[in-house]
Amino acid sequence: MSDALLSGARARRAAELDAADDLAGLRERFTLPEGVVYLDGNSLGALAATVAARLADVVTEQWGNQLIRSWTEGDTPWWTAPERIGDRLAPLVGAAPGQVVVGDSTSVNLFKALVGAARLAGPGRTRLLVDAATFPTDGYIAASAARMTGLTVTPVDPAAAAEAMGPDTAVVLLNHADYRTGRLHDLPALTAAARAAGAVIVWDLCHTAGALPVGLDEHGVDLAVGCTYKYLNGGPGAPAYLYIAARHQSAFDSPLPGWNGHADPFAMAPSYEAARGVARGRVGTPDILSMLALDAALDVWDGVTVEAVRAKSLALTDFFLDCVAAYVPQGAVEVVTPAEHGHRASQVSLRTEDASGVMRELISRGVIGDFRAPDILRFGFTPLYVGFADAERAARTLGHIFG
């Protein structure tokens, strides 16, 4: 089949898939530039259409007119935003209300979680297992938390993490998905293994929350953290979140006992008494503008299930891989993302020479993905606004660059 016929057949197939897609209309809930294929939602999600107007109201009315009264007055007072928005986010990670608090960065929340986990684990355990291929900041934070708690960091391959867990393991830190390759790790099995070993497990959900079901409560996860500016579309620098399972909340001892996490914050007491429930995960005054931008962005999930998003994600990435195989000359790229659905998150990563240059050329042609050193092209598929025609165009453009 000629190249023209080949691309025509796949373009028609993309149109058929888009026409049958029950989630296709969700793209209208986002503000996206015309003519651009955006496959970098695993770094920064697109702008939800409701955010600009909501933030304008926050600035002009809540801040401008209501002033400090907005902290405590109205239907959605600022003071309760971390827990209220946490409860909105909770179903997207499979958590019941009262277990997710929003605020601070992922790094800060991870530090709280790791030190808190070590304190939950108790004495006699000496090791902190850490995903050997983790995002660098997670490794830095883990090393600092280990120094503070007297633990020894042991890097592990998540595929072999269960075998590495033992009676000396205090804490296990794993990424639900590898940020370079898009490999999805087995959260249910690894959580069960940690529990069997008597260890406390902490999951980093940055590359899965909002793209696939997580099931924190269902699988008995102890603690989890994640950002909100990727698949949750909260905006640049949007606050992260901390999940503390209800069974651990009364014993969770945060290493950052800020006034916002105090049982009686306005008493200004010289000694610290932690708040009840997940609020003890709070530290300082929350960033209200970013917090309420996230709140508005979560409106795009109205009437949408994570299960439907996952089904489309797998269909999109399957179709993209098929198009890459058809359009890109053999040997030009190596697919490093697993083919098996059970091991694939919502991205496709390709290894190639001069990956940085190839990505710059793709972006110049209107296909925005990203590059990870030294040789990885990453394409993140956010099913809320990415369609099959986008996937076909991205693969075809990549083929033209190598052609």
Residues designated catalytic: 135, 204, 229-230, 378
Cα–Cα distance, 240 to 294 (Å, whole number): 10
* Pairing outcome for strands 241-244 and 100-102: antiparallel
Report in angstroms the alpha-carbon separations of 375 from 33, 334, 357, 371, 378: 28, 10, 10, 8, 10
Cα–Cα distance, 83 to 220 (Å, whole number): 21
* Apex 211 CA angle, 375 and 371, nearest 5: 15
Q: Report which DSSP code applies to 329.
A: P
Residue 280 CA, chain-centre distance (Å), reads: 22
**What is the number of residues in the chain?**
403
- Contact, 280 vs 254, CB < 8 A? yes
Cα–Cα distance, 403 to 394 (Å, whole number): 14
Cα–Cα distance, 390 to 393 (Å, whole number): 5
Write the DSSP assignment of 35-54 as a string of letters: T-EE-BTTTSPPEETTHHHH
Question: Which is nearest to 39 in space by CA: 361, 367, 357?
Answer: 367
Cα–Cα distance, 234 to 43 (Å, whole number): 11
Q: For the chain, what is the radius of gyration of the CA atoms?
A: 22
**Positive or negative: CA dihedral 91, 94, 100, 103:** negative
- The terminus-to-terminus CA distance of the chain in angstroms comes to 16
Cα–Cα distance, 261 to 41 (Å, whole number): 32
Cα–Cα distance, 368 to 36 (Å, whole number): 7
Cα–Cα distance, 125 to 342 (Å, whole number): 32
